[in-house]
Chains A and B, each alone.
Chain A
Amino acid sequence: MPRSNYDYPGYERSGTTYWTKTTLLYAGVIGGALLWSLPFWWMLATSVTANPSAASITLLPSNPTLDHYEALFSTQPIGKWFFNTIVFAGSVTAFNLIFDSLAGYALAKVDFIGREKFFLLFMSTMMIPAMVTLIPVYVFLAKLGWVNTYQGLVAPMIANPIGIFLLRQHFKGMPSALGDAAKIDGCNELQTFYKVYLPLAKPALATLGIYTFIMTWNNFQWPLIIASDDSMYTLPVALFSVRNQFFTEWGLVMAAAAIIVMPVILVFLSAQRYFIRGMTLSGVKG
């Protein structure tokens, strides 16, 4: 049994109770893991099944094939959609890291009149449902002529109150004496930020970056609204159009779905340590 809260002096690692608890624990963990990974496996299995049907679930295809992937790449502008999604998720992530960290730093460490009120103002925007601002934002961007453009896709998401809150809390936990020392050493406010505090915020920045990337990659609603033709579609929106067009072609749909989720899964798996640590440190729930 792994080290846990049960692992204290006097705890017996033998006997019926211990083995029953251990067996139940492992059974629960393995069962949960299987349950959560089953849809992904099903998606992958269906995408390589020759003639899948919505009526039956095939978990182990007898003759695996990549036909659906080939069909998808030959009939749909997958490359363009993939590029759009990369631009969308990458830009939003980069802008969030820049603006959220600047705002978080200012709200945590820079002394200015009304700082706490500004913070409350930022936080209060979290209480407004995204649906409410959807139309005004669209109208605003339409007036700028940004509908069906990359800037229109990215602009409404360049900063995020959750990210600002996360980084503000992180900066607030760092000693102010570091900033004082930096100022005596000759740094101005901006240099204090990026030479002293920002490198110390790497775990929080990693968490925010991964979180933002995943959320933006999977974002369906905003790209659907701002993109008026398939040249500006991102993968989740494109998946929707693939399903509409080929609603009986489950193999094609699942191949597209696999292409969408793979980068996200890879990003998460490669940085899950930072992600989980950042989430538990900040108390922000995903």
Chain B
Amino acid sequence: MADTTLTDVKKRFESDGNDVVAVDELSLDIEDGEFLVLVGPSGCGKSTTLRLIAGLETISDGEIKIGDDVVNDVKPKDRDIAMVFQNYALYPQRTVRGNMSFGLKMSTDLPDEKITERVEDAAELLSITDLLDRRPKALSGGQQQRVALGRAIVRDPELFLMDEPLSNLDAKLRTQMRTELQELHQQLGAATVYVTHDQTEAMTMGDRIAVLDDGQLQQIGTPMECYYEPANQFVAGFIGSPSMNFIEGVFVDGLIHLDLFRYPLTDEQRAAIESEDSNSVTVGIRPEDIELTDEDGPRTVEMDVNVVEPMGSMNLLHLERSGVEITASVTGEHIVDESDCVRVRFPADRIHAFDRQTGAAVFNRERSADRPPGILSREEVPSHGR
């Protein structure tokens, strides 16, 4: 087992005589045993990156290493990888057993008994032993998903590659499979690169997530880092649902002049902006960080409620003033009507600011190190606790 490294990897496609750069100087280090999620909008290059690692596409520039070996020109079968596809890609003419054993038969010299043993072990792990003699068309989507995983597992690869493997499942099964995949990853211990456009999957599954846009790496970090400390406006907008509110402003005399109001900054925030070349900034605040308040203050503003979206546990308020529209998430118990006018506060420790020209983060919100109430100390844990 060893790390997988991508160094300045570039992939160009030719389309109608023009070069299209799908992956642009991407550098990644996938650590042994890590679950790395590649996330980004459609066309950002995440699936192409996965295919480059798999060897299904040739790289135009750069270097891919699996362990200590440069694999740029190594065939997919010799890369010690296994891949799970979005549409499962099970061979329709073969049984589940045939699907799972095919790779071992083609790429190893293992005797038939050993292959059977490995297939049956993997089937047991995934609880699909009773499906081994069925053909894929006789399986449900969830079962096909398990078989596709089984086909990958039997190869005992150094690196698992998964290309949106849950996107064809319904919401309930997706949630279930998400947990199962994580458990499986912990059991197997092999590094996994997982591609998704679903930021919930990215946040919940990844040890680290790499956010891509337009073929370029925007940020790589833990889910919490990407959420609380986005490197730029794209990451801030992409990670989190509903997405972050952005309001354009200009920094003048220690205040950010927004169309809504003049927002006072803390000393640290002011220093951060003053160290920048430009005074044009975009202020960002997540909907869940906006507070409803009765108290008037320097960081409060009155806004009209345009639409209320009740979500059960919370209400999404679509607010508007002076042509600026924002979304606030408040507890679902609050009764807010669409004709209401509300006073909202943008807490000083919750706002982000981004350079309007480059999009880079100027400062991010503060992140509390406090732990929530209710967590017992080791001495307080009762005997039945653990």
Contacts and interface: CB of A to CB of B under 8 A. Distances in A.
Interface residues of A, number: 15
A183 B51 CA distance: 12
A177 to B, nearest CB: 4
Contact of B87 (A177, A183, A200): A177
A199 B76 CA distance: 23
Contact of A177 (B77, B86, B93): B86
Interface string A186-201: 1100010000100110
A177 B51 CA distance: 11
B119 interface: no
A181 B83 contact: yes
Given A177-B85, A177-B86, A191-B106, A184 B91 contact: no
B106 A185 contact: yes
A286 B103 CA distance: 41
Contact of A181 (B55, B81, B85): B85
A204 B76 CA distance: 30
Contacts of A187: 77, 106
Contact of A184 (B81, B90, B92): B81
B102 to A, nearest CB: 5
B93 A184 contact: no
A200 B92 contact: yes
Contacts of B77: 183-187
Contacts of B54: 180, 184
Contacts of A200: 92-93
Contacts of B56: 180, 183-184
A196 B91 contact: yes
Contacts of B89: 175, 177-178, 180-181
Interface string A8-29: 0000000000000000000000
A188 to B, nearest CB: 8
Interface string B56-67: 100000000000
Contacts of B85: 177, 180-181
B86 A184 contact: no
A116 to B, nearest CB: 12
Nearest to A180: B56
B370 to A, nearest CB: 47
Interface string A163-186: 000000000000101101111111
A196 B136 CA distance: 14
A184 B93 CA distance: 18
Interface in B69-101: 75-77, 81-83, 85-93
B87 A184 contact: no
B368 interface: no
B107 A186 contact: yes
Identify which of B81, B82, B103, B151 gathers the most chain A CB atoms within 10 Å of its CB. B103
Nearest to A176: B89
Contacts of A182: 91
Interface on chain A toward B: helix, strand, loop, or mixed SS?
Answer: helix
B83 A186 contact: no
B60 to A, nearest CB: 14
Interface in A175-232: 175, 177-178, 180-187, 191, 196, 199-200
A4 to B, nearest CB: 28
Contacts of A178: 89, 91
A183 B161 CA distance: 14
A199 B93 contact: yes
B107 A185 contact: yes
Interface string B199-211: 0000000000000
A175 B91 CA distance: 10
A182 B82 CA distance: 11
B92 A185 contact: no
Contacts of A177: 85-89
**Most central of A181, A183, A184, A200 by chain B CB within 10 Å:** A184
Nearest to A196: B91
Interface in A223-266: none
A183 B87 CA distance: 16
A200 B93 CA distance: 7
Interface in B320-344: none
Contacts of B76: 183-184
A9 B255 CA distance: 71
Nearest to B78: A186
Contacts of A196: 91
A183 to B, nearest CB: 5
Contact of A175 (B55, B81, B82, B87): B87
Contacts of B81: 184
Residue from the set A181, A186, A191, A199 with the largest chain B CB neighbour count within 10 Å: A181
A125 to B, nearest CB: 26
A98 B365 CA distance: 66
Residue from the set B51, B82, B91 with the largest chain A CB neighbour count within 10 Å: B91
Contact of B102 (A175, A180, A185): A185
Given A183-B56, A185-B77, 13 more contacts: A177-B86, A177-B87, A178-B91, A180-B51, A180-B85, A181-B151, A184-B81, A184-B82, A184-B83, A185-B106, A185-B107, A185-B151, A186-B106
**Which 9 residue pairs spanning A and B have beta carbons closest together?**
A186-B107, A186-B106, A185-B103, A177-B89, A186-B77, A181-B89, A177-B85, A199-B93, A184-B76
28 contacts: A175-B87, A177-B88, A177-B89, A178-B91, A180-B56, A180-B85, A181-B90, A181-B151, A182-B91, A183-B56, A183-B75, A183-B77, A184-B54, A184-B76, A184-B77, A184-B82, A185-B77, A185-B102, A185-B107, A185-B151, A186-B106, A186-B107, A187-B77, A187-B106, A191-B106, A196-B91, A199-B93, A200-B92
